[in-house]
Amino acid sequence: MSKGNKLYFASDFHLGTGSYASSREREDRLVRWLDMIKADAAEVFLMGDIFDFWFEYKTVVPKGYIRFLGKLAELTDLGIKITLFKGNHDMWMFDYFERELGATIISNELEIERNGKKFYLHHGDGLGPGDGLYKVLKKIFRSKLCQWLFARLHPNFGVGIANYWSEHSRIAGENNEKRKSMEKEWLVVYSRELLQTHFYDYLVFGHRHLPLDIQLNDKSRYINLGEWVNYNSYAVFDGEQLTLQYFEKELKA
């Protein structure tokens, strides 16, 4: 059983986006990262958009990712707790990972306290000002009716459509996300509003695709986990501090 005491946070792997070769290279990198952290991890939080597309039919799941899923199984067998968040690309997770891995699936936010520190965790989609169209689409895509209708499609057709979308995913392009001023970062705006009525030491998100560590006030920090197409960024909590780190790669200028 695991004797580790650290918490690890990562997001936006987007497995499946880009070419098959690039996705497999990213998967191998993630396996190496998971192999590294298993020595001292107590919990691993994978905070959405792990896959560029995921849909669980009753008896079928998308093929591939076997090395990544096998490594997750190894970690859970060691007693490391895995928590998976639904992102905007893989919101159609149901019970497959719960049954196969013993993972916990989080649909929206999760509040935890570890070693006296309070965390607010969310993939980050649909929060803060603006993005009204996506907020409507999110309600539609998460509806039981929409999920039932998509399940009626043959997997060859349904997954084929998803793979076409993945080829045109914004993260697969050459242009990285652009940093905005702190006042315009919508998840920073959301975090500040949340802190008016609740206290958290750390507010941790994915979705934005940029590694960000922003001090919100004297005690609270906003952390964005970035992504693994360009940055290989993640966060680790050692029991005292949460820090952004990079695996096999330094932050691009």
pLDDT-derived band at 162, boundaries 50, 70, 90:
low
Pick the CATH number of 6-246 from 1.10.287.180, 3.60.21.10, 2.40.30.10, 3.40.50.300: 3.60.21.10
Q: What is the pLDDT of residue 251?
A: 46
What does the block give as tokens for 38?
């298993």
Share of the chain above pLDDT 90, in %: 52
Give the whole-angstrom CA distance, residue 83 versus residue 46. 6
pLDDT at 253: 41
Token pair listed for 142: 């998460």
The residue among 183 and 100 whose pLDDT is bigger is 100
SS3 137: helix
State how far the Cα of 91 lies from the Cα of 143, in Å rounded to an integer.
11
Across residues 148-173, what is the average pLDDT? Answer: 59
What is the residue whose two structure tokens read 């998308």? Answer: 62
Average pLDDT over residues 21-49: 95
148 Cβ neighbours under 8 A, 6+ residues apart:
none
pLDDT of residue 252: 47
- In this prediction the pTM is 0.83
* pLDDT tens digits for range 49-95: 988 877 676 776 777 899 999 999 999 999 999 999 988 767 667 78
DSSP helix/strand/coil, 205: strand
Where do the domains of the chain lie?
6-246
